[in-house]
Chain A
Amino acid sequence: MKGRLTRWLAERVPISMEELRRPLREELPVHLRTWLAWLGGTPLMLFGIQAATGILLTFYYSPTPHLAYESVRRISTTLRYGWLIRSLHQTAGQLMIVAVILHIIRVFVTRAYRAPRELTWVFGVALFLLTLGFGFTGYSLVYDSLSYWATTVGTNLVAHVPFVGPHVLWVLRGGADVNPNTLARFYNFHIGVLPTLMVLAVGAHLVFVRLHGVARLEGDARRETYDFFPDHVLREAAVALVVLLALVVHAMRSPPGLGEPADPNVTPSHIRPEWYFFPSYRWLKMVPMQVGIWTTTAFVLGMLFWPWLDAGLERLAPGRRLGTWLGSAAFLFTLVLLVWEAVT
């Protein structure tokens, strides 16, 4: 019976099991055999949690201004395990941003972005930007007072982007001001556009990682390797389980809250974005708006095209590691802005 089933399947799906198993047999450089190596797999696992809990939330969330807040309240209080699903979705989202940042830091420090792996880096930064996009659009969907006004202020900033700002603002809001179309559009971005782009970017990132293999550490003469499966996969699984456990315990100890309902006529006294936008928020408060917008744009572009920027700096002053100094200074400055905004 089993033989017949295998034969039936092999005729209809003419791929040998050997071919399917090949990706599992990849050999990884031995420096990855540390617990720090989880930084790449964890964002992917967290994205999986986001996708699964997000689908469940869409069953009950209503993306209209009159029903959005009430539907979130219903999910959090009335529905069975709604608080847990919402908490997992919210906290995994925040943690995903942390995990992506840590992953970027590791790749930056080990200079694993250099030729021929530039495109792996570019898609990695694109994933980071998409993750921020998820955070921004997701926050607005709650439709409590703070999230409503954070959306208003956040989209106002877009209007100042040179040349395309007003057009992008119109696309985001579906009108000149925040209106009922805005919530529908943000919902669409959050559950349709961004996930599609995310899946494509993750796919491209992983394809390039596989094509080039994992970069070896500079100055590490060891040639030994270890198996992706089961060795590396087991470590990733252990980290994934620890993270899941922490998320569930966090949800039980501190279920997600909800502010007062959004009221377009009442502006809260303290409007502030989520923590991951603190650096740009603080920076925009410090400098004139146009300077802030241009420098933020330059920062993002610099990050995106960092492999080529670093290579240029290396050609300018060989062996001086100017790129590492510049990147580290930029990171520390960003960290200072984040902490500064957090404590004020």
Chain B
Amino acid sequence: MSLSMQKLLVAVLSLALFAALIAAGGVDARRQAEARKQAVAALDAAANPQLARGRAVFAKYSCNACHGPGGTGGIMNLNAETGGQVNSLLRVSETYTSAELMEKIRTGVPEVEKGDPTGPSPPLRMPAYRDLVAGTEMTDLVAYLLSLRPPPGTAKSTAW
């Protein structure tokens, strides 16, 4: 490749890099808007009296003893299929409706699936709360659980 062609190539690539950085500016603006939206939602949630009551119900029935404070992470539950620990509750809104969650609290989890089918059964399982949690306590608790979210930027993937 001649010298002038090399110069041309470097010039074209410089322009392409400049264009990519401008496009990155657009991506950044979108991410900023999303972060702001999440921050506002978090503030709203903190100010919502129903969620505050739900948080109190969560503590009253010692849900945090197994699911961790704020449902952020469970304690060890050896050979549970959920990575050897009790489930975190930060993503229940992605998989449960309000009615399904109420049913889950009433009936509990009679048997936790094993991580290793040939291994021992996990020692912990979720008890059935039946009518112990009912009425506004139940609706407040479910509203609180459905409001939980992983911190922004937390990916399911474990990539660096």
Residues of A that sit less than 8 Å from B by CB:
73, 76-78, 80-81, 83-84, 90, 139, 142, 144-147, 230-231, 234-235, 237-238, 241-242, 244-245, 248-249, 251-252, 255-260, 263, 265-269, 274
Contact = CB atoms under 8 A, between A and B. Distances in A.
Contacts of A244: 17
Interface in B6-20: 6-7, 9-10, 13-14, 16-17, 20
Contacts, number: 98
B73 interface: yes
A269 B115 contact: yes
Contact of A245 (B9, B13, B160): B13
Interface stretch (B53-61, B92-100, B125-133, B150-158): B150-158
B95 to A, nearest CB: 17
B154 A80 contact: no
Nearest to A69: B151
A80 B27 CA distance: 10
15 contacts: A73-B152, A76-B153, A78-B152, A142-B160, A146-B158, A234-B3, A238-B6, A241-B16, A241-B17, A242-B13, A248-B24, A256-B159, A258-B153, A263-B73, A269-B115
A238 B76 contact: no
A81 B3 contact: no
A266 B155 CA distance: 18
A259 B154 CA distance: 6
Contacts of B21: 248
A234 B154 contact: no
Contact of A77 (B3, B115, B153): B153
B85 interface: yes
A306 B9 CA distance: 39
Nearest to A146: B158
Contacts of A256: 159-160
Contacts of B7: 234
B113 interface: no
Interface of B: 3, 6-7, 9-10, 13-14, 16-17, 20-21, 23-24, 27-28, 31-32, 35, 73, 75-76, 83-85, 88, 115, 150-155, 157-160
A83 B31 contact: yes
Nearest to B74: A266
B13 A81 contact: no
B17 A231 contact: no
Contacts of B16: 241, 245
Nearest 6 pairs between A and B by C-beta? A257-B155, A241-B13, A77-B153, A234-B6, A269-B83, A257-B159
A34 to B, nearest CB: 11
Contacts of A230: 3, 6
Contacts of B35: 77-78
Contacts of A255: 31
A143 to B, nearest CB: 11
B160 A231 contact: no
Nearest to B28: A81
Contacts of A235: 6
Given A245-B16, A248-B17, A238 B31 contact: no
A76 B155 CA distance: 11
Nearest to B38: A77
B14 A260 contact: no
Contacts of B23: 252
Given A249-B20, A266-B76, A231 B3 contact: yes
B29 to A, nearest CB: 9
Given A146-B158, A238-B10, A257-B154, 16 more contacts: A83-B31, A84-B27, A84-B28, A144-B158, A234-B7, A241-B13, A248-B20, A248-B21, A249-B20, A252-B24, A257-B155, A257-B159, A257-B160, A258-B153, A260-B154, A268-B83
A294 B154 CA distance: 39
Nearest to B29: A80
A267 B16 CA distance: 45
A268 to B, nearest CB: 7
B27 A252 contact: yes
